Each structure stands twice: as structure tokens, then as C-alpha cells.
Amino acid sequence: MYAYIIRRLWQMIPTLLGVVLLVFILFNFVGGDPAYVLAGKISSAEQIENIRRQLGVDQPYYVQLWIFIKQVVTGDFGASWSTNEPVSQIILTRLGPSLMILIPWLIISTLIAIGLALAVAYVRGSLTDRAVMIVCTVGLSISILVYIIVFQYFFAYKLGWFPVQGWGNGFWENLVVYSSLPIIILLVVSIAPELRLYRTFVLDEVNQDYVRTARAKGVSENRIMWVHVLRNASIPIITNVMATLPGLLIGAFLIESFFSIPGIGREVLLAVNRSDFPVIKAITIYVAVATMVFNLLADLTYKAVDPRVQLK
Amino acid sequence: MPYDVPHTVSPGLWVLAWRRLRTDRVAMISMAIVFAFLVMMVLSASGLIAKDWGVESGVNYAPPSFLGEDLEQPKAAKDTAPARSSAADAPTPLDIKDPLADALAEIRGQSGKSAGSATSGADSDIVDPLADVMAEIRAKGTTATAVAARAATLPFGGDKWGRDVLKKTIKGSETSIFVGLAGALVATFLGTVFGAVAGYYGKWTDDLFNWFYSVFTSMPSLLLILAVAAVLQQKGILTIILILGLTGWTGVFRLIRSEYLKHKGREYVQAADAIGASNARRMFVHIFPNVSHVVLVQLSILTVAFIKFEVILSFLGLGVPVDVVSWGSMLNEAQNELILGKWWQLAAAGTAMALLVTAFSLFTDSLRDALDPKLK
């Protein structure tokens, strides 16, 4: 077990190196000289030379790469180009609001999707099943932008049930007042694809022999679905939830921008619009690390839920 | 006669798939819808329809014809539009079309007149090579400035400047569908070639591509797309196609690689080796047709995903340039219009996209079932 974890952590190093290299190439070569981006449109040759020296862009490439690797290892990405705030500070303060939206949403949406998936898979092939699947397909096809625009207009602007946008200071105020509508919109958007996916996971299980055995020995239908089938179907579901988790931090960027929630996703978008390279670089690296760690966690949970799984 | 067995050629994969697809009613309907959108895109790109989408043919925020004229222009009350919709159900379609037809005829007449006079003027002068162009420009100018001739309503409403939302939606489909298709083609091509090389050669080649794969998948594709969009200052349709293509190949790669791993040891590949086929020939002439159904399904899935991505990127202003209309940029304008109660541009762009994506997704599902009945 520990040997496995250590080996997996060890294997992350080449991947992380690849991410670092990719980000380095992207921000130093593909986009042209970063000094010009920072200096803006009106700048003299002398100013640009100064900025180049400050950023270390005048150094040979291997030195620049070394500086960047040192930044990644120490976690010190310097200061934002637009606000001069330390990048680590920015990320830490933005993480809270993001998680306040993401955690309740993830819990509610997973529970609803699992419940619906079990129910729909139980009546598979029926009119209800097909109707739900059609609603899911159509719901999936509407752009998330349309959902946000319409819900924000209707429930916040027109009916006034929720604030149109904003973020407060108190924990409960944020959770109850400001997070509700964003979470509702995310639920509407996310349940359709999750339900479709989880339904196929459940369908893989309902025809297995153990279900027939359970039924033969007189186990109630409820117990078969909620205990026997769910336990087996939860393996791919957990893997799926864990694997998508880090991506959600970025995935919520639209909702965070529309509702002015100071989260990670909105920060990425702001940084992209302001060409604030240090912030984008840092968030990219951190999210990559988080993805790798969560993939490992997913595999470990896999083992915990299903003892038959051998970790190689 | 025992040996006189009739010689029948057993139908191939594609013929069988097509037969299965034809019996699937949902597949045929969705295919027709997707095909209609593609035809619309081609017609719009070739300038046959919606060429004059930029012409301000209606009044500002002209409501859709079925709602009737907006009497309180320009200070429109929010609640008038929904209230009228019930009353507007009564008139026959013929009545609805009339005001627009008159206005259009008027505009056409005017532009025709001015164009005619300009050309005749040019004829009497020394032959000016640009006379035709000038006439055209003048005609355009007349149409655009003829405020009086602007239609009070448009079939699906007008935007802030009175441009026809229907034409904008058609023009927008050109951008959105083309970007989605082209991006998916680039991504599928990269994924297929990488997957084929990695799966076929194995060893260090496989390790190298797997490393690439793990690097690209450890970042959420959206973050990667935003990062690339941040770095590439120069916006354009080609840029966004490249961004989508370069970031989207990983899913195809994983599937194609495992297919090639499976196929490379099969007897037909050994037979190809025995008759002296080169590696490239074995990979792309012998094995590829056997995995092409996977490629096709992936292409279809990616197209849907990329159309959605394009809409979001253009909405954020990170996609196509501002002077190119796309469903994303329409949604961006519609966001502010909705507060004023002008919901039609949102409805047009949103519905067009939802219709296409629904049809495309249903078609993809059917295609997958038809090509790989084992999966069902």
C-alpha cells in the first residue's frame, strides 16, 4: 500500500515536469516576449529593457526555466502583474468562495443524480426512462450561458428572490444568500450529464448474477437497489466524482463571473483578460498537481470501496 | 446440386451500419436536422443567404413580427412584449408577414433606384473601373441611412441596431459550426496519428506519447484553452480552431492507441507484413479501416463539445474577432438586451444552438449504436 503510494507520487514527477515545460513554452515563446505584454502598448525601448531585466527574460532560456522551476517548487510565483498582490495570497483568498459554491453543489448534485439514476435504471426501457433521457439530452444541449442569463434575469432581477450578484463577509450570509442561486443553476446544468452517466453505471450492475441471487432469497427491491446495486455502482461513480473535482474549480468560472463571486474561476478569467501571466501560470500548475493527487486519491478510494481491486 | 451454392458477398461494416441507422427513426430525423444546419452553413458561407445580415433593416430592437409593432419605441416598457404575445396569436400568418413585406419592397425599390441612377451616371462619364463598386456602396448607404424605410418588426426581431436576428443567427451558425467541425477535425487527426504511432510502435514511442497524454490530461481542458487564449493575443477563427484542436486530442488518442495495440498482433497485419507492406501502409491502409468507426464517433462527439466551447469563448470575447458574428457573441449582446425586455436574440441563438446540439448528440448516440452493436 505505502509502496504503491510512493511509486505513484514518484511517477508524478515526470508529468509535473512536462506541465512545467508546457506552461513555460506557452508563456515564454508562443505568446511572444512577455515584457511587451507587461509593458503594454505605449512604452519606450528603455522601459522594455528594464522590464526584461526585472522578469529575467534577458537571461538564457535554461536560466529562465530554472527560475520557473524554483518558483514551482517553492510555491512563490511572485506578484500579480496587475494588482501587485502576491500570487499565493490571491489563490488562497479566492479558494474559499470557490469551495463554498463547489462543495454544497457537489454533494447535492451527486446525491440527486445517484437517486434518479437508480430510479430510472430500475424502470429501464419504460416510457419514464426514455422521457427522462430525452429531457436530459435536450437539457444538455442548451448552453450553460442561456441557463445563467435566464435564471439570473428571472429569479434574481425579475422576482427578486435572490441578490442579482455579489458576495458578503459572513459565512452563513454567503452560503445562504449569495450561493443559493449559483448552486441551483449549477445543479440544473450538471444533473443531466451525471444522470446519463450514472444510469449506465447502474445498468451495468442490475443484470448481474448477484442481483438475481438477492431477489431469489427474498431481499426487498428497495434493498437490492439501494444496498446491493448501489455499492457496486458506486465504484465508477466515486472515480468519476474524484477525477472531475479539480476541473470544477475552473469549470465554475462562468457562474463566478456572472455573480461576481471572488473565486478561482473568476480570477482565471480576469487574469486572462488582463494578460496577468503569473496568476495563470500558478493556477495552471496548482490545478495540475491537484488533478494528479485526486487521481491517486480516486484509486485509493476505489480500493477501499472494492476490496477485490488490486493496486499495482 | 450440392456445390451450386449461390455466391453472396456479405455486407461490410458500413453497409450494415447504414442499414441499422436507416431503421432508427430518431437517427434519421436528427441526421436530417444536422444536415439542414450544414446546408445552411454552406449557403451562408457562399453568400447565398444572410449575406446582408449587417444591414440595419429594422428599427432598433424591432420586435418579432408575431408580437406586433412596439408602440412605445424607443422607451419600451418591460411588460408589454409578453402581454402582446397572446393577442398576436390571433392573426393569420399572412397578416403577420405583410408589414415586413411592404417595408422590404420599399427598401428594395429604393436601393434599386439609387443603384440604377448611379450606374447610368457612370456610363455617361469616362469609364470608371470602380463604378459598379461605387454604385453598390451608394446603394448600401441609401439603404442603411433610410431610417424611414426601416421595418417596425422583423420575422424574429431585431437587435440593438435593428439588424435582423434571423439573419444573424444564420450567419452565426456559419462561424459556430465551422469552428466546431474544423477544431474537431484537427483534434481527431492529431489523436488518431498519435494513437496509431504510439499503439503500433510501442516501446519508447508509446512511453513518449503516454507522457504527452498525462501532461495534457493533468490540466482541465478549459484551463488549457483559456491559458492558450490568454497567450495568443491575435484573435481569429484559425487561432481558435488551433486552440481547440491542440487541446482536445487526448480522448481520441487513448481510444485509438488501445485499438492499435489490439490490432497490431492480428493475423491480417502479419499477412500484410508477409507480403512486404511497410509500417506506414500497415498502420493506415490495413489497420485504419478497422478502427475508423471509433474515429468517426469521436469526431462527432468532439464536434458537439467544440460547438459548445466556441460559444462560451466567443461570449467571453476570447473567441472569434468582434466583427464576426457567432452564437456566442449574440448571447453576449442578448445578456444586456434581456434586462430591457428584449428576449428574442437570446431565444434565437439559444434555440438554434440547442436544436443543433440535441440533433447532433442524438445522431452520435445512434451512430455509435449502429457501428458497434455490441455496446448496446
Confidence of residue B185 (pLDDT cuts 50, 70, 90): very high
Q: Note whether B328 contacts A: Cβ–Cβ < 8 A.
A: yes
Interchain contact, A145 vs B331, CB within 8 Å: yes
Question: Hey, which of A28-42, B104-118, B137-151 has the most confident mean pLDDT?
Answer: A28-42
**Average pLDDT of B52-66?**
68
Residue B180 reports pLDDT greater than 60: yes
Interchain contact, B222 vs A247, CB within 8 Å: yes
Convert the pLDDT of each residue in B326-372 to its tens digit: 888 888 888 777 777 777 778 888 888 888 888 888 888 888 878 77
Among B155, B178, B205, where does a domain finish?
B155
Interchain contact, B338 vs A149, CB within 8 Å: yes
Instruction: Tell me how far the alpha carbon of residue A308 is from its chain's centroid.
Output: 29
Interchain contact, A15 vs B215, CB within 8 Å: yes
Q: Exposed, middle or buried, A293 (CB in 10 Å: 0-12/13-18/19+)?
A: middle
Confidence of residue B376 (pLDDT cuts 50, 70, 90): very low
Tell whether B22 and B46 lie within a shared domain: yes
Nearest to B310 by CA among B131, B173, B140: B173
Nearest-10 crossing angle of helices B288-315, B221-231? 60
Q: Output the average pLDDT for chain B.
A: 74
Give ∠ CA B295-B300-B303 in degrees, rounded to 5: 120
Q: Give one DSSP letter per residue of A12-51, joined into a string.
A: HHHHHHHHHHHHHHIIIIIT--HHHHHH-SS--HHHHHHH
Instruction: Give the number of A-B residue pairs with CB atoms closer than 8 Å.
Output: 120
Which pLDDT does position B134 carry in this prediction? 62
CA atoms within 13 Å, Cβ hemisphere of B46 = 6
Chain B positions touching A32 (Cβ under 8 A) are: 233
Q: Which residue has the higher pLDDT, A276 or B100?
A: A276
Residue B93 reports pLDDT greater than 60: no
Q: Note whether A14 contacts B: Cβ–Cβ < 8 A.
A: yes
**Average pLDDT of B7-31?**
80
Among B114, B135, B155, where does a domain finish?
B155
Tell whether B213 and B257 lie within a shared domain: yes
Chain A positions touching B218 (Cβ under 8 A) are: 15-16, 19, 288, 291-292
Residue B211 reports pLDDT greater than 80: yes
Q: Which residue has the higher pLDDT, A61 or A37?
A: A61
Structural domain total, chain B = 2
Residue A165 reports pLDDT greater than 80: no
> Is there a cis peptide before residue B74, judged by omega within 30 degrees of 0?
yes
Chain B positions touching A143 (Cβ under 8 A) are: 308, 311-312, 327, 331, 350, 353-354
DSSP state of B149: G
Distances (CA, A) of A21 to A26, A37, A293: 8, 20, 19
* Torsion from C-alpha of B23, B24, B26, B28, nearest 10 degrees: -50
Return the exposure string of B187-205: e unless at least 16 CB atoms fall within 10 Å of the residue's CB, then b.
bbebbbbbbbbbbbbeeee
Best mutation target among B213, B219, B310, B374 (most A Cβ atoms within 10 Å) is B219
Q: To which residue does cell 431565444 refer? A: B347
How far is Cα B274 from Cα B253, in angstroms, rounded to an integer? 28
Tell whether B39 and B109 lie within a shared domain: no
Tell whether B142 and B170 lie within a shared domain: no
Residue B108 reports pLDDT greater than 60: no
**Percent of chain B as helix, strand, coil, to the nearest 5:** 70, 0, 25
Sign of the torsion angle spanned by Cα atoms B145, B151, B154, B158:
positive
Which pLDDT does position A51 carry in this prediction? 74
DSSP state of A226: I
Residue A257 reports pLDDT greater than 50: yes
Distances (CA, A) of B164 to B51, B66, B73, B154, B172: 11, 14, 17, 6, 12
Which pLDDT does position B184 carry in this prediction? 92
The C-alpha cell that represents A91 in the structure block: 489563490
Tell whether B225 and B328 lie within a shared domain: yes
Tell whether B200 and B141 lie within a shared domain: no
**Structural contact between residues B152 and B58, judged by C-beta atoms closer than 8 angstroms:** yes
Distances (CA, A) of A15 to A195, B254, B351: 32, 17, 42
Residue B186 reports pLDDT greater than 90: yes
B279: helix, coil or strand?
A: helix
Residue B84 reports pLDDT greater than 60: no
Q: Which residue has the higher pLDDT, B32 or B150?
A: B32
Q: To which residue does cell 448607404 refer? A: B141
How far is Cα B271 from Cα B269, in angstroms, rounded to an integer? 5
CB-nearest partner of B218 from A19, A141, A145: A19
Which pLDDT does position B214 carry in this prediction? 87
DSSP state of B287: I
Which pLDDT does position B155 carry in this prediction? 66
Residue B290 reports pLDDT greater than 60: yes
Which pLDDT does position B183 carry in this prediction? 92
CB-nearest partner of A27 from B231, B327, B362: B231
For residue B357, the domain's CATH number is: 1.10.3720.10
Question: Any idea which of A84-98, A279-293, B74-88 has the lowest mean pLDDT?
Answer: B74-88
Residue B3 reports pLDDT greater than 80: no
Whether B171 is in a domain gets the answer yes
Nearest to A72 by CA among A303, A282, A229, A269: A282
B91: helix, coil or strand?
A: coil
Q: Which residue has the higher pLDDT, A230 or A35?
A: A230
* Torsion from C-alpha of A72, A73, A75, A80, nearest 10 degrees: -30
Interchain contact, B215 vs A18, CB within 8 Å: yes
Tell whether B91 and B171 lie within a shared domain: no
Residue B62 reports pLDDT greater than 80: no
Tell whether B96 and B184 lie within a shared domain: no
Whether B178 is in a domain gets the answer yes
Q: Which residue has the higher pLDDT, B109 or A122?
A: A122
Residues 150 through 209 of chain A touching chain B, CB cutoff 8 Å = 150, 153, 157
DSSP state of B290: H
The C-alpha cell that represents B239 in the structure block: 487561432
pTM for the model stands at 0.77
Task: List, in sequence order, every residue forming a beta bridge with B154; answer none if it has no partner.
Answer: B64
Whether B75 is in a domain gets the answer no
Tell whether B200 and B110 lie within a shared domain: no
Which pLDDT does position B120 carry in this prediction? 42
Residue B161 reports pLDDT greater than 60: yes
B55: helix, coil or strand?
A: coil
Confidence of residue B154 (pLDDT cuts 50, 70, 90): low
**Average pLDDT of A127-131?**
85
Whether B237 is in a domain gets the answer yes
Tell whether B235 and B299 lie within a shared domain: yes
Which pLDDT does position B97 carry in this prediction? 40
Residue B188 reports pLDDT greater than 90: yes
Question: Which residues does B343 contact at the CB level (< 8 Å), separation at least 6?
Answer: B81, B334, B337
Which pLDDT does position A10 carry in this prediction? 87
Q: Output the average pLDDT for chain A.
A: 81
Whether B188 is in a domain gets the answer yes
Among B155, B184, B211, where does a domain finish?
B155
Region of residue A125 (left: phi > 0; alpha: psi -120 to 50; beta: else): left
Give me the domain span that covers residue B147.
81-155
Tell whether B355 and B326 lie within a shared domain: yes
User: In terms of residues, how long is chain B?
Assistant: 376
How far is Cα A121 from Cα A224, in angstroms, rounded to an integer? 13
Residue B94 reports pLDDT greater than 60: no
Whether B32 is in a domain gets the answer yes
Tell whether B173 and B240 lie within a shared domain: yes
Residues 242 through 301 of chain A touching chain B, CB cutoff 8 Å = 246-247, 250-251, 253-254, 268-269, 271-273, 275, 277, 280, 283-284, 287-288, 291-292
Whether B66 is in a domain gets the answer no
Residue A129: other Cβ atoms inside 10 A: 16
How far is Cα A125 from Cα A116, in angstroms, rounded to an integer? 15
Which pLDDT does position B90 carry in this prediction? 37
Whether B161 is in a domain gets the answer no
How far is Cα A165 from Cα A261, in angstroms, rounded to an integer? 8
Instruction: Note the ipTM here.
Output: 0.81
The C-alpha cell that represents B312 in the structure block: 462560451
Task: List, in sequence order, every residue forming a beta bridge with B64; answer none if it has no partner.
Answer: B154
Which pLDDT does position B139 carry in this prediction? 60
How far is Cα B222 from Cα B332, in angstroms, rounded to an integer? 19
The rounded percent of chain B whose pLDDT value lies above 90 is 4
The C-alpha cell that represents B101 in the structure block: 413585406
Interchain contact, B361 vs A137, CB within 8 Å: yes
